[in-house]
């Protein structure tokens, strides 16, 4: 049986004992930064950890790049978790990526 759960930033699929999380923001090269983007894969991974029927988890991206890492545009604009004082930026990196 195959189960597909679309999210805003990811696609979560489960087929037999294999789960796949696909990062789904090809325009921005699948960044992984900021709570609005990080929360979905974290929630999916927690779900996989609770499911004893899953043996394998595949994490992939849906574009030419797996992931750009942090949101490059936000870094350039010093916005979101990449803005503020040096201390706030450090905390953003520690807790937002």
* pTM for the whole structure: 0.71
What is the rounded CA–CA span in Å between residue 39 and residue 64?
A: 23
On the CB side of 95, CA atoms within 13 Å amount to: 8
Q: Which domains does the chain have, with CATH numbers?
A: 2-69 (3.30.300.220)
pLDDT digits (tens, 9 = 90+) for 57-83: 999 998 887 887 777 777 777 777 777
pLDDT digits (tens, 9 = 90+) for 5-52: 667 888 899 999 999 999 988 887 888 877 677 788 888 999 999 999
């Amino acid at each position: 049986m195959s189960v597909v759960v679309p999210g805003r930033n990811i696609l979560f699929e489960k087929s037999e004992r294999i789960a796949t999380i696909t990062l789904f923001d090809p325009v921005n090269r699948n960044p992984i930064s900021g709570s609005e983007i990080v929360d979905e894969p974290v929630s999916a991974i927690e779900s996989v950890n609770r499911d004893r029927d899953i043996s394998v988890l595949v994490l992939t991206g849906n574009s030419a790049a797996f992931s750009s890492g942090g949101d490059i545009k936000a870094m350039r604009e010093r916005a979101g978790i990449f803005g503020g004082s040096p201390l706030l930026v450090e905390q953003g990196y520690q807790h937002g990526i």
